[in-house]
């Protein structure tokens, strides 16, 4: 039981300069504390397995700035409504965000294509830094179509540029444009608020803090990352911008919406309800 107790403590609490325990370090600690004369890491592992303990594993979590409760529940229901209900003919719902620090990473040798015989594509490890761009993108939640702009900086000015592109390309028959984005200041600063006052058909909606996964454009960013940016090798930022814009054009030729339903939010809503019950 001494081993189990030790494994359930952080190494620093046992005066060891370690982040996490390993079987070898636990075996060493037991020997140095004269709990046992000899014990192997394999024996430690067997004992821990019996108690279903893996002290070397880490699960990241985040203490929320905003407690889960009624306010978050209202936001989640609002997003659920935007994604799942039939829209009126005069409505449009767009999911907006930025994919930051896209680098050309120009390789010092050309990328070699794959070959028969299970020879993979070969990417030169060395690359040259040539600046970076930020992609401001908007995804139409009902069609999957994407519009985007790439800029050197990420400010309210650039965010407004994307809003102006949405304004320009949205037919006049659409009188309500719902915009869903996260809570960074770029999305609700003084300049943005002033612009929105002059464009009344825009309605802003925000994800709860630390819930950017609710923003559907993040789903599209993962596709972009996997299909176009997993092995970056562009001549410069001009080449990078041209090829990302080409990717957007090609995506829009076969675009499809992401199928989010009310059930997609059940787990989050259950957490909100549990927090409300605990506070009652």
Q: DSSP string spanning 127-144?
A: EE----EEEEEEEETTT-
Residue 241 CA, distance from chain mean position:
22
As given in the structure block, the two tokens for residue 146 are 């994407």
For helices 41-50 and 23-32, give the axis angle rounded to 10 degrees.
Answer: 110
CB 96 within 8 A of CB 181: yes
Chain segment 167-184, per-residue pLDDT in tens: 999 999 999 999 999 989
pLDDT at residue 175 in the model: 98
pTM above 0.85, yes or no: no
> What domains can be seen in the chain, in order of their start residue?
2-50 (no CATH), 70-114+123-275 (3.30.420.10)
Please state whether beta strands 176-181 and 202-206 pair in parallel, antiparallel, or not at all (unpaired). parallel
Q: What is the mean pLDDT of residues 221-245?
A: 95
pLDDT at residue 200 in the model: 97
- Nearest CA among 227, 62, 65, 254 for reference residue 143: 254
SS3 for 188-221 is: CCHHHHHHHHCCCCEEEEECCCCCHHHCHHHHHH
Chain segment 20-57, per-residue pLDDT in tens: 999 999 999 999 988 889 999 999 999 999 999 999 99
CB 233 within 8 A of CB 107: yes
pLDDT at residue 250 in the model: 97
Residue 169 CB neighbour total at 10 angstroms: 9
Q: Which residues of 187-222 are buried (b: 16+ CB within 10 A; e: fewer)?
A: bbbeebeebbeeeebbeebbbbeebeebbbbbebbe
Q: DSSP string spanning 48-109?
A: HHHTT--TT--------SS-SSHHHHHHHHHHHHHHHSPPPTTEEEEEEEEEEEE---EESS
pLDDT at residue 71 in the model: 80
Phi, psi of 202, deg, nearest 5: -85, 130
């Amino acid at each position: 039981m001494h081993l189990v107790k030790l494994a359930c403590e952080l190494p620093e609490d046992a005066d060891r300069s370690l982040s996490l325990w390993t079987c070898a370090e636990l075996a060493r600690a037991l020997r140095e504390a004269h709990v046992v004369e000899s014990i192997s890491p394999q024996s430690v592992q067997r004992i821990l397995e019996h108690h279903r303990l893996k002290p070397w594993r880490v699960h990241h979590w985040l203490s929320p700035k905003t407690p889960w409760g009624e306010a978050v529940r209202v936001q989640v229901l609002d997003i659920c409504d935007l994604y799942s209900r039939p829209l009126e003919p005069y409505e449009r719902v767009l999911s907006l965000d930025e994919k930051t620090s896209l680098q050309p990473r120009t390789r010092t040798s050309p990328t070699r294509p794959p070959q028969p015989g299970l020879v993979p594509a070969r990417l030169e490890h060395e690359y040259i830094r040539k600046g970076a761009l930020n992609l401001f993108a908007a995804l139409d939640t009902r069609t999957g179509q994407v519009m985007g702009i790439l800029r050197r900086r990420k400010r309210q000015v650039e965010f407004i540029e994307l809003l102006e592109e949405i304004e320009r390309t949205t037919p006049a028959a659409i009188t309500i444009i719902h915009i869903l984005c996260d809570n960074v200041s770029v999305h609700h600063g003084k300049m943005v608020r002033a612009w929105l006052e002059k464009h009344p058909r825009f309605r802003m909606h925000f994800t709860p803090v630390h819930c950017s996964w609710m923003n559907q454009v993040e789903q599209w960013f993962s596709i972009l990352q996997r299909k176009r940016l997993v092995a970056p090798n562009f001549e410069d930022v001009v080449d990078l911008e041209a090829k990302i814009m080409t990717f957007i054009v090609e995506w829009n030729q076969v675009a499809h919406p992401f199928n989010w339903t009310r059930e997609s939010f059940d787990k989050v809503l259950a957490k909100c309800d549990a927090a409300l019950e605990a506070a009652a």
